[in-house]
Amino acid sequence: MSFVQLVSAFRLYGADVLLLALGVTLTTSLLKKTVLKTFPKLFVFLPFILGVVYFAVYRMIATGSIAPLAADLGGTLCNGFGCGCAATLYSVVCEKFLQGKTKANPLAPLLEFIPEEKREEAAKTLYEEAKNLSGEELRKYFEETLNTFADPPMSETELLATAELLAEYMDSLEKK
């Protein structure tokens, strides 16, 4: 999705929906990092659920009654879903355009077997040294280094397979 497509998508919503969507984005981000860290599948639906709730509360405050939930439930749900959509777009914009300046370690997604508290350090250590190696040296380096971070230690078969996978992946990165 290009920047022009993102901007045109934001034109679909009114100012009230966009402002509420900003609140939904911030709340979703906060919940992802704190309370709901253990429920990653919920993150897909969270902006839409919060969008409907935020918009319903906004409409009730704006009208001073509960009528938006009773008389115009369809409009409230539609605009609340729009809040969720706009919040998702805000997240995409933040990830794609604002955080794009920090380069993620390409090995980190392949190191899920390493405990989370040591994963970033392991990815950094492995990647920095591996950039200077190739072929058999690279495989040997991964074989020697992986078990220092793995908890519990890997079996010999797992170690060889993982070292081979990481070495092939590093080789493919260098070719690009």
Confidence band of 5 (pLDDT split at 50, 70, 90): low
- Give me the pLDDT at residue 50, please: 93
Exposure letters 68-83 (e unless 16+ CB within 10 A, then b): beeeeeeebeebbbbb
- One-letter amino acid of 52: V
Task: Name the nearest CA neighbour of 86 among 32, 28, 19, 5.
Answer: 19
For the segment 79-107, what is each residue's pLDDT rounded down to a tens digit?
Answer: 888 898 888 888 877 777 665 555 677 77
| DSSP at 107 | T
The residue count of the chain comes to 176
At residue 49, the pLDDT reads: 92
Radius of gyration of the chain (CA): 23
Reference 83, options 54, 61, 62; nearest CA is: 54
pLDDT digits (tens, 9 = 90+) for 11-48: 777 778 888 989 999 998 888 888 877 776 777 788 99
Q: Measuring CA to CA, which residue among 112, 88, 113, 114 is closest to residue 32?
A: 88
Torsion of CA 133, 134, 135, 139, to 10 degrees: 40
pLDDT at 116 over 90: no
pTM > 0.85: yes or no: no
Cα 96 from Cα 131, distance rounded (Å): 26
Question: Is 139 within 8 Å of 163 (Cβ atoms)?
Answer: yes
Residues 99 and 37 sit within 8 Å (Cβ to Cβ): no
